[in-house]
Amino acid sequence: MRTTVELPPALLRAAKARSAEQGESLKALLTRAVTVELDSAPSASRHRARVRLPLFGSPAGPPVLLTNDDLARVLAAADAATVASPARRRSRRRHSR
């Protein structure tokens, strides 16, 4: 089937050069390129199974607003709790002897 596709001049030159290097027609190169792209694209059924961000909160509820500063505070608090835990201090004393 014939169709007309408009490509940027630099892309067309590169495609012609590649097809010449490989000893194939421009039609064969473009057919192969489109086939590879379509085969690698996620199908509709796989797309529905993918996880959508954010990974927390409810899709039906309000959006969860989290800034980089909020995240940094939470991570710093978690680090501080880990360092301050009694089990962690006992473990460090055993290793330092």
Of the candidates 42, 16, 40, 9, which has an alpha carbon nearest to the alpha carbon of residue 30?
16
Compute the C-alpha angle 17/22/24, nearest 5°: 90
pLDDT digits (tens, 9 = 90+) for 19-78: 999 999 999 999 999 998 888 866 655 555 666 665 666 777 777 788 889 888 988 988
3-state secondary structure of 33: helix
**Would the pTM of this model clear 0.85, i.e. be above it?**
no
